[in-house]
Amino acid sequence: MTQLNPTEYNLEEVLTWLKEKDYRVTRPFVERSFYSDAPPPAKLVKAAILDTETTGTNQLTDKIIELGIVIVEYCPESGQVYRVLETFNELEYPGMPIPPESTLIHHITDEMVHGKTINDEAVESLMADVSLVIAHNAFFDRGFVESRLPLFKKKSWACSYAQVPWKAEGMGSSGLEFLAYRFGFHYAGHRASIDCHALLEVLQSELPASGVKVMKMLLEKARLPETKVWALNAPFDNKDKLKERGYRWDAERKIWNSALPQAELQSEVDWLRAEIYNNRPFKLELEKIDAFNRFSARRGAVELVNY
């Protein structure tokens, strides 16, 4: 096989030629400290990009073994990040052996966490003036960190996995490593702070269909209040309609539920009346959802309404 001498080629010319031939080229990811050279606006706020590695997926029995946090300074109107202020990454002994199947994913071993503890005071100081926590699958990370570090219960959260319309933007997957590939870079994933920096790079990219910065769209979605509709006593025969509509089955409460923007509540009530309750009187439990309780097990304010 012929070996190419890189000194004989201009890398940018080679990359341009490959792209013209419909090759997809990805660059190795390099963490950045700055994301804009432009003068920042007067109003900047802090966000924490957060990721955890754990012993497993059960939030009741599994434990955090690694916590990664990247603190950034950004414009809340545009979603433009200007600086990375701090990177935090610490391991912790979970009080139990790490299952081999978990180690296969994140490559963290019992020897690596032996005697290690996450510094609570350091995390509290880091998060003191953070206005928003962003995670890629906040349903997973929020439960774990709130159990280990209750200060996160008082923070607003956004989820780049669930609150960005990746499918509508032409993405075949919303997995972070796949998104990195689509935005032109690759990295070694499944270690906490590395995943945080990779997610930040995705957040500062432009969506392919709308052309909107990912973080700008995420912020807009995160600010919208929602209502979680609990369809009380929904007839069992209509479960397929509810599932197709996007409702989820709560196994503990045994009730179908769906979260939607408040502006869509009346049209949802009309649909439920016609399609699920067959125009008979019914009751709904309406739960207020916002960035402070979204993706957590804690419930918002609830109102029982007769229709």
pTM above 0.85, yes or no: yes
Res 15: pLDDT: 73
> Per-residue DSSP letters for the chain?
-PPP-GGGS-HHHHHHHHHHTT----EEP---SBS--SPPPS--EEEEEEEEEES-S-TTT--EEEEEEEEEEE-TTT--EEEEEEEEEEE---SSPPPHHHHHHH---HHHHTT----HHHHHHHHTT--EEEETTHHHHHHHHHHH-GGGGGSEEEETTTSS-TTTTT-S---HHHHHHHTTEE---SSHHHHHHHHHHHHTSBPTTT--BHHHHHHHHHHS-EEEEEETT--GGGHHHHHHHT-EEETTTTEEEEEEEGGGHHHHHHHIIIIISTTS--EEEEEEE-TTTTTSSS---EEEEE-
Question: For each of the chain's 307 residues, which pLDDT tens digit applies?
Answer: 455 565 567 777 877 777 777 787 888 999 999 999 999 999 999 999 999 999 999 999 999 999 999 999 999 999 999 999 999 999 999 999 999 999 999 999 999 999 999 999 999 999 999 999 999 999 999 999 999 999 999 999 999 999 999 999 999 999 999 999 999 999 987 788 999 999 999 999 999 999 999 999 999 999 999 999 999 999 999 999 999 999 999 999 999 999 999 999 999 999 999 999 999 999 999 999 999 999 998 999 999 999 9
Domains of the chain and CATH, by start: 12-16+24-223 (3.30.420.10), 226-306 (3.30.70)
